[in-house]
A and B are shown apart, each in its own frame.
Chain A
């Protein structure tokens, strides 16, 4: 027996030593290879098909839009376009002049490519982009570098919502479109076409994709921004190549970062890892604001949440500061409007801030008085005759009918522990007023099905991790025409005044006037509270300290095109 065990141990040791001896001691990659960690491998690099976050990250380095956001002011700024578009109110058209840009193969980016992209999306009704380009009636290449978009009607979000989408090269997609037209399902053919080497005009080109293992991108020598100064930033890229490695769990990805196996973890980091990362001398942490919205929504189609007073009372009872400080460990911001406060231009600072700065007792008392004034009654009220808060029971609606048991749907804790915990806390706060409610975590798909398609719910907690900077989503969320099954007005909120203002906001081309309308819309929504905005988590990211410098911080984090065009190997 002894012999056999010895034999096995000896063989294992020999095998291990052989491996250690054969492999290079340290794999020294090129000096300026930026190694990125991502949580999942991209699923596809077909720009019309890609719907997962990691595919989008890689594609954002290859395909480019006409306009993007300035990292500091967040204002729309020309990118592939040379200047801001000229708007002609008479013909309802926008004229865009392109930069002298080239595709990665050296051929010119022309107005024809832009025309082709728009026509392709409209012809095939590419789902992800169709609604964005829908306002365009006709698009014309005026000359090689000028393109003119004729719109069906004036629309304020055209530049921010439409012209920030990718432009694809005609030479890459025209043959695919040609073949697709002969198919029984042309769109399916277009979306399922495998693109091994996407042709873009961005800072990088895909060199190699070893599926299941890594993606290797090299610098695009023809990138239009190279050595150019755009928005007071001298762009590179200053690195030769990028390597994307996949880390299945956050724990291992953090270890890789601390060990120096990757230079940047392009993924949101949970606050729980933060202290550990901050202590580590090899890593540097970035905390930025996010354009996001995590909220509690009500089903206003049916009692009891059809009553705005009850919704207001719930808003008073919810302790947002507790959520931010305790559940999210301080790495979040409380929200009082649907538009995040950091989106300064559009945010209405004077929206009512329900329950802000109140103690638990004060909240219960205020909510109790509000409901009592509006006809609610209790067998045993939450505030007794002496003004002391007690355990209530038997809450009845204004008509005298007892309030039925209610449910708050939340995503499960393994999907998002923060939202699941919020559900439990809200349940506790509402119970203090005698509202018979329970939080029910359910799978994300099932939750969306119930809330968005079947409308079979009382309340829910959901969120948007990436909210566009243009507040046109207010219209999507609360306009009554979107309240049908599948529509984004999941609450079923109807307010003719809001509808009118939101329609007007789309047509208003003057930013200041539109700002006024957006403010009014926020005031209406926060008065009627179909949604209670809860919090907005911070974007926590980390890089290796010795690796690269020059990261551009902006709303959403450092994982942005400006960073990629500016990072340089850190001087040693």
Chain B
């Protein structure tokens, strides 16, 4: 199969998958019991007024018609207006997206780097106490319950020791001061970011380390490692130049997908740290039946994940010609 044909076929497949996701999500939200109006009303509001509200939100039409409108609007770039914000959902998402990206992308990259580094070391020292202890520690980190550990860290480092702020992304008192310069504001964001970053690092690093460790162990049994040693290369060169780059491939794939998924910004992390990202908006949108905001957020995540998949597929096909057949 020609390389271009493969790309075309995969793109078409992804388009179909996207349509299935779009339809599935739409139905999931609209057919689930409960309506967005029920939470907006109080006993003094008459059913007639509630109906006016329903009609304003466009929910008085049959579901299939709402679906057709939704698809039509979607392809014309109109994702709808949030029921609670009263403004286009795209603007809400764009506003929150950078906050999520900056936190989660940094955490994924840092933990992957550390995971690769320590993974290769512990695999090299397989069977020794360092391997046993680091593997156990990684498993513990990997299975930690995120909100619990996040609260614990806030309690220890924020409340107890006082090294870090308790929540949010900035210190309002500092930002309100017109004398505060750009540099100090940037440092302030970094200061707020450290604790959530550390928490996410602890949660993610274990997984990357374990992937790297097992991949490294497999690689170390390959013939070319033996050849490298036979050539008289020292152990460090064999480990870092010959084994590690090959062993890191599965981690790279995992990082690629994690980066794509990271834009949904662990909803729980963002809630506990009051980090103003997409994850927190998602929780609000879903729990308050703000369909347009919830749908758009999920669709946005789907698009990024699908595109990331496509890129990974193409890269693999490029790197390994066997995949094309």
Contacts and interface: CB of A to CB of B under 8 A. Distances in A.
Q: Do the two chains belong together in a single complex?
A: yes
Interface of A: 1, 4, 8, 15-16, 18-20, 22-24, 27-29, 33, 40-41, 43-44, 46, 49, 51-52, 125, 127-128, 130-132, 161, 185, 187-188, 191-194, 208, 210-214, 216, 243, 245-249, 251-252, 255-256, 258-259, 261, 443-450, 452-453, 464, 466-468, 472-473, 476-477, 482, 484-488
A143 B181 CA distance: 52
Contacts of A255: 154-155, 158-159, 166
Interface of B: 32-35, 38-53, 56, 81-82, 84-87, 95-96, 99, 114, 117, 121, 151, 154-155, 158-159, 162-163, 166-176, 183-184, 187-188, 190-191, 194, 270-274, 276, 280, 284, 288-289
Contacts of B38: 445, 448-449, 452
B159 A484 contact: no
A125 B50 CA distance: 11
A452 B54 CA distance: 15
B56 A211 contact: no
B175 A248 contact: no
19 contacts: A8-B114, A23-B191, A43-B84, A46-B86, A51-B40, A52-B288, A127-B50, A132-B44, A213-B169, A213-B170, A245-B168, A246-B276, A249-B271, A261-B166, A445-B33, A445-B34, A449-B38, A453-B35, A464-B43
A248 B34 contact: no
Nearest to A39: B274
B52 A130 contact: yes
Contacts of B280: 248
Interface SS of chain B: helix
Contacts of B46: 131
B173 A252 contact: no
Contact of B117 (A4, A484, A486): A4
Given A43-B86, A445-B33, 5 more contacts: A127-B53, A216-B172, A249-B271, A249-B272, A484-B47
Contacts of A256: 166-167
Interface centre among A1, A16, A246, A482 (most CB of B within 10 A): A1
B274 A247 contact: yes
A33 to B, nearest CB: 8
A18 B84 CA distance: 41
Contacts of B151: 249, 251-252
Interface SS of chain A: mixed
B33 A213 contact: no
Contacts of B166: 247, 252, 255-256, 259, 261
B34 to A, nearest CB: 2
A472 B194 CA distance: 53
A19 B41 CA distance: 47
Contacts of A188: 56, 81
B84 A44 contact: yes
Nearest to B120: A1
A51 B272 CA distance: 24
Given A130-B49, A212-B276, A249-B271, A446 B95 contact: no
B56 A127 contact: yes
B191 A19 contact: yes
A476 B44 contact: yes
Contacts of A245: 167-168, 172
